[in-house]
Every structure is written in C-alpha cells, then in structure tokens.
Amino acid sequence: MTTPLAPPTRIGKPAVVALGLLAAVTGVLESVVAPTLPLLQRELSMNPSQGALLSIAMLITGALVAPVAGNLGDRYGGKRVLIRLMTVVSAGGLVSSLAPNVPVLLLGQVLQGAMVGTLPLSIILVRKYLSSGESQVAIGVVSGLFIGGGMLGTLIAGPIAEGLSRHWMFAIPTFAVIVVTLCVQVLMPNDPPGRTDARIDWPGLALLSGVLLTLMLGLSMAPEVGSRPLVLGALVVLLAVLVAGWIVVERRSPAPMVDLRLLAKPAIWSSYVITFAVCVGTAVSMFLVPQLFSVSGDGYGFAAGSTDIGRYLLPGAVAAAVSGPLGGVASRRFGSTAVVTAGIGVMTATFAALAFVHTEVWHLVVAKALIALASGVCITAMVVKTATSVDHGDTGTATSLVLVTRVIGFAAGAQVSGAFLTAGTVSGVPAESAFVTGFVIAGVVTALSLLAVRTLSKGAKE
C-alpha cells in the first residue's frame, strides 16, 4: 500500500472560516421544522402522529449517521467523507423544499439528518492541521456556529414560511449549504486517509444502529407511557438485547466500529455522561420557557404570540452563538474541567431561580440566555476534552458519540417535559406547578452531572 504524503502542518484562516460557515448553515437547515410544525401540519394535512414523526426524523437519522461518519472520517480522511456527506444533505434539503406531500417531506428530512456528521468530520480536519491550542479554539468556533445557526433558523423559519412559503424555508439554507460546501472543497486541503486497510465492521454498525433507533423510539413514546406500557416494556427488553449483542460483537471484531477500550477511559465516558445531563436540562428549558411565555394562567404566563416569543428568545440565540467560541477559548486557558464546573453551576443556579421567580418577562429572558450560554460552553468544553483525550485516529469516532449523546439528551429532555406538562394540564391550560416541577427536575439532573466532573482529568492530559 502506498504511504500517503504527510499533510501540511497548518491551514489558513479562510479554511477554518469555511468550516465554521458550513456548521452555521447546516444548523439553520436543521432547525427550520420545529418552529413551523403547526404550519406544516396545516398545509400538508398531517395528523398528530405524522407531525411527531416529522419532528424526530432528523434526530433519528443524525444519531445513526454521526458515529458512522466519524469512523469513516478517521479511516478515509475527514474532507473526503465531509464532501460526500454534504452532497446527501444538499439533496435532502432540495427534496424537502420541493416536497408536495408528507412522505416526500419525510424522505427529505431523513436525508438532511446526515448533517449531524458534519461536526466530527470538521474536528478531524482542525486537529490535523492546527496546533493543540489553536484547534481547541477552532473546535469552539465550529461548535458555536452550529448552535448559533440552529438558533437563527428557529427565528427566521416562521417569517420566511409565512412571507414566502414553506418551500423557501428549506430552499434558502440549502442553497447556502451548497455554496459553502464548494468553498470547503476549494479552501481545505485533502487530508490523508488513516486506517484504509481495515474493513468496516458491518455487524457492529448494524447493532449500533439498532440500539440508537430503539432508544429514540422509546424516548418518542415517553408521553404515552401510561397508555402503552407493554410496547414500551418490549422496547426496553429489545434495547437490552441489542446492547448486549453489540458489546459482544465489538469485543471480538478485529476492527470494531467503536473501540470499547476507548469508552472505558474516564475522560471519555464522563464526557458523555455530562453531555447527556446538560442537554436534558437545556431541552427542558427550550421546551418549557416558550410554553410559559404563551400560556395564560391565573397569576402566571404572559399570553405572548409567536412574534413576541421569537423576540424574547433572541438574547438566548445570541448567547448560544457566542458560547462555542467562548467555550473553546476558556477551555484553552483554564482547562475543560474548570469550564464545565462553572457552566454547570450557572445552569443549576438559574434553574433554581426559575422555579421560584418567573413572574416577569425579563426573568425568563435572562434565565434562558444564561442557560443557553452555560450549556453551549459546557458542550463545547466536552467536545474539546473528548477530541484532545484520544489519538488523532480516533477523533471522529469519539467526538461523534458526543453528538449522539447530545441528540439523545435533547430528545429525552423534550419528551420528559412534554410528559409532565401534559400530566399537569387541566382544561387545556398547564398548571404553574408543572413548570416549577420541570425547572426543579432540570436543575437536579444538571447538578448531578457534577459527580462525573471529577473524573474528567483522569487518564488524559488537558
């Protein structure tokens, strides 16, 4: 086998900017469905079950694709896999923009879900071409722009859909994705492949996909757990069988999809635990705060419309956008452990305050901004910590699992929030106690992640 040429030691700022812009525009495309779901249901005559499936279609695909994309990037080169992945995403965006009915729109969303693999592939590239300190900042920039793009998409999707049409809210960010992908193709040098002689672990891939799919389906049923306990129980049993089978296969495989020895490192598994807990808490705030803005109860709520809610959430979107670069710079200067500890402390204190004080609009605006900032800083620090705790050849696999954990955490937080808010609804209006319970649960889950913070520095250097 011919040995590839060593890559250049550095890349220019335009290449890093192109990766950041790619993260931003994919974040926009990822987030346009959630705020416009009522409009899509109305125009396409979707029933509630179809609407629920549409809302999680990309999450399911992303959870399946991210570890595969990261692993292939480690083997065959980050840029090579990234360009092919964005071709699939662009096709999905075009299908969604032209979709005349629900099945075609679902197909487009399934293809778009491949975008979750963008971040681990970008991290592979910056780790190869930048120094350790520079790569931490670059990872923060790329992560932050992805989150910021998602927030921007949430804000602009409604006005575009109402002012132009639902087709344009997919088409505009898709065109941006195509243009920025071409810029990455031109500006980013080709990185050499890694383990090209290793075969793909197809049994491990199939079992891991089954694990993630079963887990996401189980989470999607959380609000109906009381009415369908047997189905949920069967999914739990199936999940346990799939996990056991996956562990056996990965232990015996000469080239496993995920090296279980990698997951056993304290710095790695603790990163996943913290990411899950932080994302659960963040998802609770993302679900409950807009609901509290819109509800009109006896002494609580503000009866705000969609435009006002979007305006109230704008500071949180700005905070999320700057959280990634801030997390990267802070991790470089103070270390990931200190950054995560501070972020979790801010989130826990904010949730505690929300449980007691939520009678003014500014209370929720400030709290949502603080949670978005602290959450973004924590997640970025976890991505940085994970990426720098493994060898270059494992960067894509390790960081992709952080993103999978993020997706699962968000899905779990949203579904649990929906479950107890539904349980606390009387005569069509959620009780104030349901919101208080949600904020308390989010604070407790986030605070418990501090138990895993102390293991972050074990087995890996900052």
What is the overall mean pLDDT for the chain?
79
Q: What is the mean pLDDT of residues 347-354?
A: 94
pLDDT tens per residue, range 94-110: 998 888 888 888 888 88
429 three-state secondary structure = strand
pLDDT of residue 1: 41
CATH number of 9-191: 1.20.1250.20
- Residue 248: left if φ>0, alpha if ψ -120 to 50, beta else—which one? alpha
Cα-Cα end-to-end distance for the chain: 35
Is-same-fold flag (9-191; 259-462)?
Answer: yes
pLDDT tens per residue, range 257-273: 666 777 777 777 888 88
Report long-range pairs for 108-111 (Cβ below 8 Å, ≥24 apart).
Answer: 108/170, 109/33, 109/54, 109/57, 109/58, 109/61, 110/57, 110/58, 110/60, 110/61, 111/61
Tell me the CATH architecture of domain 259-462. Up-down Bundle (1.20)
CB 92 within 8 A of CB 111: yes
pLDDT of residue 6: 45
CA torsion through residues 214, 215, 221, 225, sign = positive
Which residues, at least 6 apart from 359, have a Cβ–Cβ distance to it below 8 Å?
A: 299, 300
Q: Kind of pairing, strands 425-426 and 429-430?
A: antiparallel
pLDDT tens per residue, range 367-408: 999 998 998 888 888 887 877 777 766 676 777 778 778 878
- Measured in whole angstroms, the distance separating CA 147 from the mean position of its chain's CA atoms is 8
pLDDT of residue 233: 76
- Measured in whole angstroms, the distance separating CA 137 from the mean position of its chain's CA atoms is 19
For 409, other C-beta atoms within 10 Å of its C-beta total 23
Which residues, at least 6 apart from 241, have a Cβ–Cβ distance to it below 8 Å?
A: none
CA 223 – CA 227 distance, rounded (Å)? 9
The tokens for 77 are: 């080169």
Domain boundaries, the chain: 9-191, 202-256, 259-462
Its pTM stands at 0.77
